[in-house]
Amino acid sequence: MRRASLWDRDSLKCLACVTHVLTRVMDDSSYPVEGLPTPDPSREPGAVVETQLTALADNDTPVENAGIKTAYNFASPANRRATGPLDRFIEMVEGPQYAPMINHETAVTGPVERDGPRATQRVTLTGPRGRTVTYRFGVSKGADGPFDGCWLTDRVVLE
């Protein structure tokens, strides 16, 4: 009678798949994307949103997906854990929910609503095909790491 091994072939394959997925999701080696705007303590919440909107309005300048990569640079660590790594973040922004942001023609921003280290701002965009969409950006002030004191994007919610 053959003794069952705790680590049979199927278990090892499953472990390899889980390890691959976790490595992919947790890989932050592409952060921040060099040569594009990054968080700075001198930028207030509205300027953080405006920087991203300006980059997304001309998404492929100076490089392909520069606007999306700029948005990734401003994503908080929790946001990047949920939406990254970069290639996955790009796929998400190119999807139907966020695609109107890419190369939008106009942006109308509402007032920044600030509550201590958190702020929100409503943004209405008109996309290249005339579709108007409203989002609410949620940002918070980073409290540690390389972007301590910088406003970072926690979420962008479609209204």
pLDDT tens digits for range 77-101: 999 999 999 999 999 999 999 999 9
Name the residue among 76, 86, 107 with its Cα closest to residue 26: 86
Name the residue among 107, 106, 70, 62 with its Cα closest to residue 89: 70
Domain formed by 9-158, architecture? Roll (3.10)
pTM of the entire predicted model: 0.82
pLDDT above 60 (res 159) = yes
Per the DSSP assignment, residues forming a β-bridge with 133 are 125
Burial (CB count <10 Å: 0-12, 13-18, 19+), residue 133: middle
Instruction: Write out pLDDT tens, residues 23-71.
Output: 444 456 778 999 999 999 999 999 999 999 999 999 999 999 999 999 9
